[in-house]
Amino acid sequence: MTVETPARFSPLSEWQDTLARLPAGIEVRELPFLTHLTLRLEPGGAAAQAVESCLGVPLPGPLRAERSGDVEVLWTGPDEWLLIAPEGRRNDLSAQLRSAVGDAFATVTDVSAQRTTLALSGDLVRTVLAQGCAIDLDPRVTPAGSCLTTLLAQAPVTLLVRDETPCDLRLLVRASFAAYLAAWLTDACTEYREDGG
């Protein structure tokens, strides 16, 4: 008996052409199917130290993120982090983390299907996002490495600032809100289009 792998669909597969036609100064593209793992453990404990050694970076503190190779570690709560890695890293990264924590009280949970990621870059990114976000996106307030959970146009998102100049952000959004957010971004960019529409 042959078991077929179920087809996977990007939450924004129907929006790719629209997002590709945004005005100069902002580029938005979806990064679907990334590995997303939630890690929960006691900060500063032996398990945390073992995970830090395994990853090669410290677990970040409040509102911060760290990067180690192709893995980004985002602070999401007092004893919780989100690890983001390329597609296909789910099994090996989970195994590495579970091996590092050993018998300590900790959890590693695969939440990859829960959300999608939007990569935003360009000079207009902060200006466009400011139309629907209460967070001050000035680089002096939210420099590279900032990681904030907020609302963007009333949609819950995690906003990760990867670089300041040129602006390079990631928006992590639940799959169920992805199309709504793509529509909002398209509308928010209307005034910056040369053709006016």
pLDDT attached to residue 62 = 97
The answer on pLDDT for 34 being more than 70 is yes
Q: At 96, list the tokens.
A: 């590495």
pLDDT attached to residue 1 = 63
Could you state, in order of their start, the residue ranges of all structural domains in the chain?
Answer: 13-190
Query: If you classify domain 13-190 with CATH, what class do you get?
Result: alpha beta
Residue 166 vs residue 44, higher pLDDT: 44
Mean pLDDT, the chain, rounded, equals 92
Burial class (CB in 10 A: 0-12, 13-18, 19+), 84: buried
Whole-model pTM: value is 0.90
- Using CA atoms, how far residue 165 sits from 93, 102, 123, 152, in Å, is 31, 40, 8, 22
Note the pLDDT tens digit of each residue in 92-129. 999 999 999 999 999 999 999 999 999 999 999 999 99
Q: Which residue reads 């669909």 in tokens?
A: 9
